[in-house]
Structure 1
Amino acid sequence: MADLDALRTRWSHALVGSRGTRAPDLPDPAPYADDLLARWSEPQRRYHTPDHLTAVLDHVDLLAGAAADPDLVRLAAWFHDAVYRPDRSKNEERSARLAERALPEAGLSAAATAEVARLVRLTLTHAPAGDDPNGQVLCDADLAILASPDHAYAAYTAAVRQEYAFVPADAFHEGRAAILRQLLELPRLFHTPYGAKEWEGPARRNLTGELALLTG
């Protein structure tokens, strides 16, 4: 179970760090953290939960040295699945729009807000440009689950299936296999030096193994 108090503290540190030298009479960060945690705790979620948020933040911390603006990447991690309905499309776009509404009110500059929203939208494709260190860190942190040990990867795939329990098995297998093929066809899954070295090989093995199970 994720430590919600620890997550609230991490939110406050990232938000305050991203505000820069703006005026001190700014809103309390706590209500924004509570709103986001309520979203991440919605009942339709099985994988995209506070545990996933914690893992992504942990991986951002691990990769922070490769980012241009680590605190903005952390804020983007908070928002990247803040809107998540597996029965609907455009979750990333809706999450980005939520960031665009909330962050200026919380005290972020227009430029910082735009960067967070851009990063959230990037998680639709996980294809950051070569000169986009913030995007590379967020995308690698989000996909790091793919390089998990066998038991953790099995738990991840089972949780994803639970989120799509309303989809018949044949249709789910077909759709999931298509996603796995798309990922495996990418020239690289990870873009930071650490991700490329430590996660690329294990992730490709996991994806290949899952695809074999789905396709028989």
Structure 2
Amino acid sequence: MQTNLFNKWNKIIKISKIENFQEINNKWWNIINERYNEKQRFYHNLTHINELLNLEEQFNCKLKKSEVIQWSIWFHDIIYDPTRSDNEELSAKLFIDFSNDVKLSEQVISDVNKYILATANHTKVKSDEEKDTDLLYFLDMDLSILGTEESVYNAYSDAIKKEYSHIPDDKYRIGRSKILQSFVDAGYESLYKTNEFKEIYGKKAINNLKNEIKKLQQ
């Protein structure tokens, strides 16, 4: 996977026509690896990034701003501390540091910053953002794990539980159940924003969420 990821990293570096190629790789590729391999990460790691980049390739023909989505994928979880509530803001700030180093266009910087911040609440897209179909695809990609096969979903839910091991078990069960139930109550048409993800992942996601809620309440 590491070689595959490095190839994808080089791909977006070239798409963005970044100068000082070797220098940038030495600095930021190391930062990417250090951050996403932190000990508290069991799901929000490079495997997650790789899966989203695969989805970006799968749906690339539907996208208008592939460059924006790829940078958003790489940086949306670069800061991840389960004990904090401002990970998205901090991730966006680190992306700004990166963009200053590599001199991305102002439009790309603005869009990626917006996309990263939007992951703070996937199901509530602002009215002025609803027409940005690329943003909707990006958010759906990030939630695609919810609609995967049962064994994959169970591994995901186990990993999330490990990431929140600092929370007492009873409190975790109550909090996690409440969040998942809100997704179930809203329905898959609220969970996913694009027709493709609703069709492919929607109903399976609701079934997975219901099954996890049952387990949490046992």
TM-score normalized by the length of structure 1 = 0.91
CA distance in 1: counterparts of 2:60 and 2:179, whole angstroms: 28
The answer for the alignment partner of 2:200 in structure 1 is 198
Deviation of residue 25 (structure 1)?
4.0
Q: 1:119 touches 1:134 (CA, 8 Å); kept in 2?
A: no
Report the secondary structure of 2:134's partner residue: helix
Deviation of residue 105 (structure 1)?
1.2
1:138-171 alpha-carbon deviations (Å, 9 max, x no partner): 1111101001111111110111111111111101
1:42-83 alpha-carbon deviations (Å, 9 max, x no partner): 111111111111111111222222222012101100111000
Q: Are 1:189 and 2:187 an aligned pair?
A: no
1:3-39 alpha-carbon deviations (Å, 9 max, x no partner): 12221221221232134xxxx7444342322211210
Deviation of residue 208 (structure 1)?
1.3
- Runs of 4+ displaced beyond 4 Å: none
Label 1:139 to 1:55 Cα distance change in 2 as closer, same or farther (>3 A): same
The answer for the alignment partner of 1:11 in structure 2 is 9
Q: Are 1:49 and 2:45 an aligned pair?
A: yes
Greater shift, 80-89 or 61-70, is seen at: 61-70
The answer for the alignment partner of 1:91 in structure 2 is 87
Label 1:92 to 1:116 Cα distance change in 2 as closer, same or farther (>3 A): same
Q: Are 1:137 and 2:137 an aligned pair?
A: yes
Report the RMSD for the aligned CA atoms in angstroms. Answer: 1.6
Which amino acid is 1:17 matched to?
Answer: I
Give 1:67-78 correspondences, 5 Å limit. 67-78=63-74
Label 1:58 to 1:25 Cα distance change in 2 as closer, same or farther (>3 A): closer
Which amino acid is 1:131 matched to?
Answer: K
**Which runs of 5 or more structure 2 residues have no equivalent in the other structure?**
none
Which amino acid is 1:180 matched to?
Answer: L
Greater shift, 175-184 or 78-87, is seen at: 175-184
Which amino acid is 2:169 matched to?
Answer: A
Which amino acid is 2:114 matched to?
Answer: R
Which amino acid is 1:208 matched to?
Answer: K
Label 1:170 to 1:143 Cα distance change in 2 as closer, same or farther (>3 A): same
Percent identity between matched residues is 26
